[in-house]
Amino acid sequence: NAGVTQTPKFRILKIGQSMTLQCAQDMNHNYMYWYRQDPGMGLKLIYYSVGAGITDKGEVPNGYNVSRSTTEDFPLRLELAAPSQTSVYFCASRLSASTDTQYFGPGTRLTVL
Amino acid sequence: EDKVVQSPLSLVVHEGDTVTLNCSYEVTNFRSLLWYKQEKKAPTFLFMLTSSGIEKKSGRLSSILDKKELSSILNITATQTGDSAIYLCAVRENYGGSQGNLIFGKGTKLSVKP
């Protein structure tokens, strides 16, 4: 199993550009998450999904969008990138409502200039 | 306000020292507390503590949950430079609270000097 994979590893965007961060998992997990991590601030939840076709906002959803058309994939879309979106983005997954452990992808470091 | 508070935020020790990291929480309906280790990449799972499993140990790392004090500690004995990392604490409420999502603290950055 590859676990949770993310692409790209690094990206530099200009203000106003858009991009999609890719996340995939091959563990047949129902729940998937997107977090951002700023220095000294822990992990902030952006969006999450409890299954294909179902998504919901987390703590910091503004400026982002998600979709979940399959169990495996959970892309995060940034529209009109802003410097405040400079961060490290982690995707995570967990098996079901009755399990607690989340497994994380390797992260995407995004810089918006 | 922060529901999960970790202390200290950073810590510098020398190899061989023993360290204790703290995590306190304030949630309505506690289900579990998880510890993660984050080196220069993704957080990796260390322990999960619940009402039925309040103490966990793996090698030089151990963790205890104090449900009365709403807190947990992570102990690392005989520290090594490879223990240098950010240690994250996260709490999960029972389903219906925070939608069962994890609530993370800000982390403790541990630096172990040779």
Kindly tell me if the per-residue pLDDT of B53 is higher than 90: no
Q: Which residue of A has its CA nearest to B50?
A: A100
Q: How far apart are CA A40 and CA A75, in angstroms?
A: 25
- B17 Cα to chain A: minimum distance (Å): 24
Of the candidates B100, B93, B84, B70, the residue with the CA atom closest to the CA atom of residue A50 = B100
Q: Give the mean model confidence (pLDDT) for residues A74-97.
A: 94
Q: What is the C-alpha separation between B59 and B52, in angstroms, rounded?
A: 21
Identity of residue A90: F
Name the burial class of residue A66, with classes exposed (0-12), middle (13-18) and buried (19+) by CB atoms within 10 angstroms of its CB.
Answer: buried
Q: Which of B2-6, B48-52, B104-108 has the highest mean pLDDT?
A: B104-108
Model confidence at A48, in pLDDT bands (50, 70, 90)? very high
Measured in whole angstroms, the distance separating CA B82 from the mean position of its chain's CA atoms is: 17
Supply the mean pLDDT for chain B. 91
Q: How far are the Cα atoms of A38, A74, A76, A91, B7 from residue A21, in angstroms, in the given order?
A: 17, 9, 5, 9, 32
**What's the pLDDT tens digit per position in A3-43?**
999 999 999 999 999 999 999 999 999 999 999 999 888 89
Across residues A93-110, what is the average pLDDT?
Answer: 92
Q: Which residues of A touch B (CB under 8 A)?
A: 4, 33, 40-45, 48, 56, 58, 90, 97, 100-107
Cα–Cα dist B104/B63, whole Å: 17
pLDDT > 90? residue B99: no
Q: How confident is the model at residue A2 (pLDDT cuts 50, 70, 90)?
A: confident
State how far the Cα of A93 lies from the Cα of A33, in Å rounded to an integer.
6
Report residue A44's pLDDT band, with 50, 70 and 90 as the boundaries.
Answer: very high
Chain B residues closer than 8 Å to A41 by CB: 106
* Residue B95 in this model has a pLDDT that exceeds 80: no
Say yes or no: B45 contacts chain A, CB-CB below 8 A: yes
Q: Does position B97 have pLDDT exceeding 50, yes or no?
A: no
Mean pLDDT of B11-40: 94
User: So what's the pLDDT on residue B101?
Assistant: 84
Q: What is the widest separation between alpha-carbon atoms in chain A?
A: 41
CA A33 from centre of chain = 6
How far, in Å, CA of B10 to CA of A110, rounded? Answer: 25
Q: What is the pLDDT of residue A73?
A: 97
